[in-house]
Amino acid sequence: MKWTFLFPMLVLATLPGWAQTDSRAPWGSASDIEQVYRGQKVVFDTTSGTVAGLTSVLDRASFLSILNGADPVENRIVVVLHGGAIPFFAIRNHAKHKDLMRRAYSLSVGDVVEYRMCRAAARMHGFEPKDIHGFVKMVPMAEAEIVRLQQEEGFAYMR
């Protein structure tokens, strides 16, 4: 009876980190994996109506592009815009969001990151294609475009 209790304790004592003396890190520290990413196709579903939220999406898209070598032939990132994200891309709001739009535009220059906006949602916000910055492409419906990119072109979904 005593042996059945001690055996699991002996096994655990031999596992890495079990005898760690630092109570804040009883399992030690994480290990770093060097990974190479190539040929990824990703669609970001973007509805954020805050500068911080949209900045986060742009940061993630940019970093993903860099990790994939910023190769427009092998790597594609589509940011589908709808909901609260739409007004940021309106020409009439340029002065208010100039830095954010400069950043968004700069990511689209190398043809790795592309922006597609829901035309139906834009109209609900009172915008027509002529009211939106020229680096954005309009699609009939955000959700339908996201599904099409996944089903027909093999894109991975990111929110």
Sign of the torsion formed by the C-alpha atoms of 96, 102, 103 and 104 = positive
Q: For residue 89, what is the DSSP state?
A: G
pLDDT in the model for residue 14:
56
Whether 21 is in a domain gets the answer no
pLDDT in the model for residue 19:
52
What tokens were used for 22? Answer: 């630092």
Q: Give the CA angle between residues 84, 90, 95 to the nearest 5°.
A: 110
Residue 88 is part of which domain span? 41-158
Whether 33 is in a domain gets the answer no
pTM of the model: 0.82
Whether 68 is in a domain gets the answer yes
- Please tell me the total count of domains within the chain: 1
Whether 2 is in a domain gets the answer no
Look up the CATH number of the domain holding residue 48.
3.40.1260.10
Q: Is 50 helix (H, G, I), strand (E, B) or coil?
A: coil
Whether 31 is in a domain gets the answer no
| Residues 84 and 42: beta-carbon distance below 8 Å | no
Whether 15 is in a domain gets the answer no
Whether 91 is in a domain gets the answer yes
Whether 46 is in a domain gets the answer yes
Work out the pLDDT band at 69, boundaries 50, 70, 90: confident
CA atoms of 142 and 46, how far apart (whole Å): 9
